[in-house]
Structure 1
Amino acid sequence: MAGVDESRLRVWLSKYHNSDVAARDILSVVNHYQGLVPVQETYTFNDGTPMDLVNLNGTIPVSYKGNTYNIPICIWLMDTHPKNAPICYVRPTSDMSIKPSIFVDQNGKIYLPYLHDWTSGSSELLGLIQVMIVTFGDQPPVFAKPKESDMPYPSNSFMPQAGGNYLPPYPPTSYPPTSGFGGYPPYPASSSLPYPSYTPYPTPYPPYSGSGYGGPAPAVGGTGTIKDEHIRESLLTAIEEKLLRRMKELFQQHQAELETLQRTHDELKQGKVKLNTILSRLEKEQSDLDKNITVLKDKEQELDKAIERLSNEEEIDVDDAVTTTAPLYKQLLNAFSEEAAIEDAIYYMGEALRCGVIDLDVFLRQVRTLSRKQFMLRALMQKCRQKAGLAV
Structure 2
Amino acid sequence: MAGVDESRLRQWLSKYHNPDVALRDILSVVSHYQGLVPVQETYMFNDGTPMDLVNLNGTIPVSYKGNTYNIPICIWLIDTHPKNAPICYVKPTSDMSIKPSIFVDQNGKVYLPYLHDWAPGSSELLGLIQVMIVTFGDQPPVFARPKESEMPYPSNSFMPQPGGNYMAPYPPTSYPPTSAYGGYPPYPPTSNMPYSSFTPYPAPYPSYAGSGFGGPSASVGGTGTIKDEHIRESLLTAIEEKLMRRMKEQFQQNQAELETLKRTQEELKQGKMKLNTILSRLEKEQNDLDKNITLLKDKEQELDKAIERLSNEEEIDVDDAVTTTAPLYKQLLNAFAEEAALEDAIYYMGEALRCGVIDLDVFLRQVRTLSRKQFMLRALMQKCRQKAGLSV
Q: Please classify the TM superposition score into its range, dividing by the shorter chain length.
A: 0.5 to 0.7
Q: Could you tell me which residue of structure 2 aligns to residue 17 of structure 1?
A: 17
SS for the counterpart of 1:74 is strand
1:110: Cα distance to partner? 1.1
Contact 2:46/2:167 (8 A) holds in 1:
no
1:204–1:300 distance in 2 versus 1, CA, 3 Å:
same
- Amino-acid identity (%): 54
Contact 2:100/2:205 (8 A) holds in 1:
no
- AA aligned opposite 2:77: L
Which of 287, 300, 311 is equivalent to 2:290?
300
1:309–1:121 distance in 2 versus 1, CA, 3 Å:
same
Q: Could you tell me which residue of structure 2 aligns to residue 134 of structure 1?
A: 134
SS for the counterpart of 2:72 is strand
1:264-287 CA-partner distances (Å, limit 9, x unpaired): 444444333433333333332222
1:189: Cα distance to partner? 4.8
SS for the counterpart of 1:80 is coil
1:309–1:6 distance in 2 versus 1, CA, 3 Å:
farther
1:270–1:184 distance in 2 versus 1, CA, 3 Å:
same
**Residues matched between the structures, number:** 275
Contact 2:146/2:210 (8 A) holds in 1:
no
Q: Could you tell me which residue of structure 1 aligns to residue 235 of structure 2?
A: 245
1:237–1:19 distance in 2 versus 1, CA, 3 Å:
same
CA distance in structure 2 between the aligned counterparts of 1:70 and 1:216, rounded to whole angstroms: 18
SS for the counterpart of 1:61 is strand
1:91-149 CA-partner distances (Å, limit 9, x unpaired): 233343333322222222111121122223322211111100101112222233444xx
1:49: Cα distance to partner? 1.4
Alignment of 1:1-392 (within 5 A): 1-147=1-147, 151=148, 153=149, 180=161, 188-191=168-171, 195-208=194-207, 213=208, 233=223, 237-312=227-302, 315=305, 317=307
Q: Greater CA radius of gyration, 1 or 2?
A: 2
1:258: Cα distance to partner? 4.5
CA distance in structure 2 between the aligned counterparts of 1:69 and 1:57, rounded to whole angstroms: 16
SS for the counterpart of 1:180 is coil
SS for the counterpart of 2:284 is helix
- AA aligned opposite 1:2: A
1:325-358 CA-partner distances (Å, limit 9, x unpaired): xxxxxxxxxxxxxxxxxxxxxxxxxxxxxxxxxx
- AA aligned opposite 1:280: Q
Unpaired segments of 5 or more residues in structure 2? Answer: 153-158, 174-188, 212-220, 311-392
Contact 1:107/1:187 (8 A) holds in 2:
no
1:260: Cα distance to partner? 4.1
Contact 1:89/1:187 (8 A) holds in 2:
no
CA distance in structure 2 between the aligned counterparts of 1:277 and 1:122, rounded to whole angstroms: 32
CA distance in structure 2 between the aligned counterparts of 1:155 and 1:91, rounded to whole angstroms: 15
CA distance in structure 2 between the aligned counterparts of 1:5 and 1:301, rounded to whole angstroms: 88
Contact 1:84/1:198 (8 A) holds in 2:
no
CA distance in structure 2 between the aligned counterparts of 1:132 and 1:206, rounded to whole angstroms: 20
Contact 1:85/1:198 (8 A) holds in 2:
no
1:296: Cα distance to partner? 2.7
Contact 2:75/2:89 (8 A) holds in 1:
yes
1:4–1:308 distance in 2 versus 1, CA, 3 Å:
farther
CA distance in structure 2 between the aligned counterparts of 1:112 and 1:287, rounded to whole angstroms: 61
1:256–1:75 distance in 2 versus 1, CA, 3 Å:
same
CA distance in structure 2 between the aligned counterparts of 1:133 and 1:88, rounded to whole angstroms: 13
1:317: Cα distance to partner? 5.0
1:304: Cα distance to partner? 3.9
SS for the counterpart of 1:28 is helix
1:154–1:93 distance in 2 versus 1, CA, 3 Å:
closer
CA distance in structure 2 between the aligned counterparts of 1:135 and 1:296, rounded to whole angstroms: 76
Contact 1:62/1:68 (8 A) holds in 2:
yes
Moved more, 37-46 or 9-18: 9-18
TM-score scaled to structure 1, two decimals?
A: 0.59
CA distance in structure 2 between the aligned counterparts of 1:270 and 1:117, rounded to whole angstroms: 27
1:84–1:236 distance in 2 versus 1, CA, 3 Å:
closer
- AA aligned opposite 2:19: S
SS for the counterpart of 1:68 is strand
SS for the counterpart of 1:2 is coil
CA distance in structure 2 between the aligned counterparts of 1:104 and 1:80, rounded to whole angstroms: 24
SS for the counterpart of 2:53 is strand
Moved more, 78-87 or 248-257: 248-257
1:206-238 CA-partner distances (Å, limit 9, x unpaired): 325xxxx2x787xxxxxxxxxxx97xx566744
CA distance in structure 1 between the aligned counterparts of 2:276 and 2:5, rounded to whole angstroms: 62
1:184: Cα distance to partner? 9.2
